[in-house]
Structure 1
Amino acid sequence: MSRIDENKDFIPVRIAILTVSDTRDLSDDRSGDTLVARVQNAGHILADRAISRDDRAAIASQLRSWIANPDIDVVISTGGTGLTGRDVTVEAHRDVYEKEIDAFGTVFTIVSMNKIGTSAVQSRATGGVAGGTYLFALPGSPGACKDAWDEILSNQLDFRHRPCNFVEIMPRLDEHLKRK
C-alpha cells in the first residue's frame, strides 16, 4: 500500500518527453501531449520535448544528449516499444542504460493486463538509469501513457510517496561516476 506523506514538501523534477514516430509531428502527437499535460499538472517541469524517427541511433543520440544535460532528471519516451521491425525504442534505451529497472516493465504489464487483458504481452515498456538520469520507454498510445503515468510514474516521481520513490534516491544515481 502506498501513500503520500503530506508532511514532506513536493519536489518538482525536470522531465523531457520524446515521441518516437515516423508519422507524427507536434501538431498530432496525442501521446506526447498526454504526457506533457500529466507532467505539468503534477507540478513537474517540462524540461524539453522532441520527436525522433524510428531509428535506433537517432533515438539513442537524443537520449544521450538529455542524459548529458544537468537540467534534465527524467526522460520519458513514447512509441516504438512494440514487436514490429520499426520498433527499436527499447533497443535504443538499452544501448544507453547503465542499469535497467526490471520491475518497471513488469509493473507496467500488470497495469496493462487490468486494462487490455492479454494484449499487454505485446508491449515492451522499459525503464533504466544512465548518468544519473531516469529513462522510461512507454508504448505509443495515449491510453498506455495515461496508465504508466497515473499508475506508476506519478507516484514514483513524487518525493512524498511512501514507502519509497525514485526522487529520494536521485542524488545517489551517479555516485559511481564521482571520484571517491
Structure 2
Amino acid sequence: MTTEKEFIPVRIAVLTVSDSRGLAEDRSGDVLVGRISGAGHELADRKILPDERHQIADQLREWCANPEIDVVISTGGTGLTGRDVSVEAHRDVYEKEIEAFATVFTMVSYKKIGTSAVQSRATGGVAQGTYLFALPGSPGACKDAWDEILAAQLDYRHAPCNFVEIFPRLEEHKRRK
C-alpha cells in the first residue's frame, strides 16, 4: 500500500560475500543492483569480499560511517557451513537487530522452497543510522527479499510504515538533551 507522499531515493551499498565469485559471475549482486536502480534508488557502492568475518564487519562499519550510504545489503555467507560468516559479521556491527526481518524472509522463502527455508539465516539490523541486511547468495533469494520485503520498506510512500520514514530517528538517542 502506498500513500500520496513523494518518493525519496535512498543510497544503497551492495556487498557480495564469496570465496569464488568475481564481478562477472556475481548474479545475486546483479539482481540487487538491477532492483535498486529499477526502484529509483542510488547504488552508493558495490564490493565483493571473501567469507572472512573481520573483513565483512570492517566493510560494514566503513559503510555505516559514510554519510553517503543509507542502507547496506549483503548477499552470500548466510548458510550453515563453516565458511558462512556473514550473519556473525553483521551481528558484530549491529546496534539493534531487526528480528522480524528474518522471520518475514523465512515466511516468504517457505512459500517458494518449503522446509529448505530453515537453512537460511537472513538477518537485518541497524548501526550508526544505517540499515543492514544479510541475504542468502542465490539470485532467487535476493529477488524474494527485495520484491517481498525491501522494495516496500525502502519506499517512503509505503503505508502504514516503512524504514525510510524513521531514518531521522535512528540516532535520536545521541542527541544532547
**For this structure pair, what is the TM-score category when the shorter chain's length is used for normalisation?**
over 0.9
Deviation at 1:57, TM superposition (A): 0.1
Partner of 1:4: 2
Partner of 2:168: 171
Residue 92 of structure 2 aligns to a residue whose secondary structure is: helix
Following the alignment from structure 1 to structure 2, what is the Cα–Cα distance between the partners of residues 60 and 100?
A: 15
CA RMSD of aligned residues (A): 0.5
Length, aligned pairs only = 177
Partner of 2:148: 151
Deviation at 1:39, TM superposition (A): 0.3
The percentage of aligned residue pairs carrying the same residue is 77
Question: How high is the TM-score relative to the length of structure 1?
Answer: 0.97
1:132 aligns with one of 116, 129, 134: 129
Following the alignment from structure 2 to structure 1, what is the Cα–Cα distance between the partners of residues 2 and 74?
A: 26
Where in structure 1 do 4 or more consecutive aligned residues deviate above 6 Å? none
Following the alignment from structure 1 to structure 2, what is the Cα–Cα distance between the partners of residues 53 and 92?
A: 12
Following the alignment from structure 1 to structure 2, what is the Cα–Cα distance between the partners of residues 39 and 109?
A: 22
Query: What are structure 1's unaligned runs of at least 5 residues?
Result: none
Encode CA deviations 1:70-123: one digit per residue, 9 max, x unaligned. Answer: 000000000000000000000000000000000000000000000000000000
1:52 aligns with one of 24, 49, 53: 49
Partner of 1:118: 115
Following the alignment from structure 1 to structure 2, what is the Cα–Cα distance between the partners of residues 163 and 102?
A: 19
Residue 59 of structure 1 aligns to a residue whose secondary structure is: helix
Partner of 2:38: 41
